Chain A
């Protein structure tokens, strides 16, 4: 997926038009090598901002928050087997789960890739 087609939240998750969720390239770089991924169960009803998954790196554990409210529609089993995919391919093979949004419009209110880049600059300075 092209980063330009994704929407981002301040906790560094991205969400694609089809509801696929992952963490940003910036986030995977910051947290260092990912060694464990814990994913939600499909069918779970989640609220935006709710911790629904966990990504653990050599250095620390991080909660992954749902960018929108909805229902977990699918999870990426290959990242639980090969956690390094999150580092190698944060926007493709390293996706985490798919959420079926309650309201399609919610995604449109999130940051574009461009806004997210500006946000990152403001966060690190």
Chain B
């Protein structure tokens, strides 16, 4: 099992670990509900070192990435980040990722841990001359999220406060170099900090030392999942995979069909014209209960689709879910299978949670 450079520290601080696609990562510290609340009201610190960090550098990097990703990389200015998906020719999603443009010719891609090998394989296969692709060795990262995170980071790295939403830059914390993006997976203001293993251990300890007295919580994957689901953020492997297109997944806003040639464009254009076969929906059961991954979605006595992500929303104190249904059922009254029962659902517009 893989362990991150922060494993020993987190173990010492009371983490309960779980297997996350071959990574031994904290499930929780104090408890999922407490950690969730801390992020919505104060701040939380997550180990995201398992995520892949891939550098694309060189004079051809912009046009290479623009041909590889669905979103418009040419329109991304230096020191900004952008969410995108990467598709196969047939429009199937290889991965969803975050692209940070540090300088004109230097990009950092943050990819899902479970997809790192497949991503690198795909990226390298298409790489032209003039672009260097490298995986960050001993990659490590944390996400500091929540309304108190700017004030907390201000104590350690005041210059990073100049970053706007999705801004990115190179900074120094306590003498340790790092890359900081004002991004996250929780829907709160916050920062993601990328550094070498050694630097990140120091940064993590410093943040914890200054943050704990102010109400900072260490957070695990349990809270990461409830927080991202309240915002409707997709999770690769559940909500996204190679059998679904970004249009079906409701991520049409990341697909810039009008830009220059990119992998998957023809298939996606055609799919857009004829309409996607499946629709991604977000819903709430009309009775108490929690939808779960794999639960059936039905329309009358017909199977309409399946729940891809479901959980209890601590902010709404109710079950929430997302999933795919065949397009012909998109307007039909639907029910979700909860604990061997079909419970009618109401369709909602994302996000589930509004500040």
Contacts and interface: CB of A to CB of B under 8 A. Distances in A.
Given A32-B31, A33-B32, A61 B222 contact: no
Contact of B32 (A56, A58, A61): A58
Contact of A61 (B27, B28, B339): B339
A24 to B, nearest CB: 17
Contact of B33 (A56, A58, A60): A58
B339 A35 contact: no
Interface in B291-318: 292, 311-312, 314
A36 B32 contact: no
Contacts of B149: none
Contact of A58 (B288, B289, B311, B338): B311
Contacts of A56: 289-290, 312
Contacts of A33: 31-33
A79 to B, nearest CB: 14
Contacts of B226: 58
A59 B292 CA distance: 9
A32 B339 contact: no
B31 A61 contact: no
Contacts of A84: 33
A61 B32 CA distance: 15
Contact of A32 (B32, B289, B290): B32
Interface in A38-72: 54, 56-61
A61 B290 contact: yes
Contacts of B339: 54, 61
A56 B338 CA distance: 11
Given A58-B311, A61-B339, A35 B31 contact: no
Nearest to A33: B33
B84 to A, nearest CB: 30
A36 B288 CA distance: 8
With most chain B CB atoms within 10 A of its CB, the pick from A32, A59, A61 is A59
How many chain A residues sit at the interface, stated as a range, is 10 to 19
B224 to A, nearest CB: 12
A32 B290 CA distance: 15
With most chain B CB atoms within 10 A of its CB, the pick from A56, A60, A61 is A56
B290 A35 contact: yes
A54 B340 CA distance: 12
Contact of B292 (A32, A54, A61, A87): A61
A57 B312 CA distance: 8
B227 to A, nearest CB: 11
B288 A32 contact: no
Contacts of A32: 27-28, 31-32, 222
Contacts of B32: 32-33, 58-59
Contacts of B290: 35-36, 56, 61
A83 to B, nearest CB: 10
A36 B313 CA distance: 12
Interface string A12-23: 000000000000
A33 B338 CA distance: 19
A60 B292 contact: yes
Interface in B310-341: 311-312, 314, 338-339
With most chain A CB atoms within 10 A of its CB, the pick from B27, B31, B290, B338 is B290
A60 B178 CA distance: 37
A35 B27 contact: no
Interface of B: 27-28, 31-33, 222, 226, 288-290, 292, 311-312, 314, 338-339
Nearest 8 A/B pairs, CB to CB: A35-B312, A33-B33, A58-B32, A58-B312, A33-B31, A33-B32, A61-B339, A32-B32
Given A58-B222, A61-B292, A61-B338, 16 more contacts: A32-B32, A32-B222, A33-B31, A35-B33, A35-B290, A36-B288, A36-B290, A57-B312, A58-B32, A58-B33, A58-B226, A58-B311, A58-B312, A58-B314, A59-B222, A87-B31
17 contacts: A32-B27, A32-B28, A32-B31, A33-B31, A33-B32, A36-B290, A57-B312, A58-B32, A58-B33, A58-B222, A58-B226, A58-B312, A59-B222, A61-B290, A61-B338, A84-B33, A87-B31
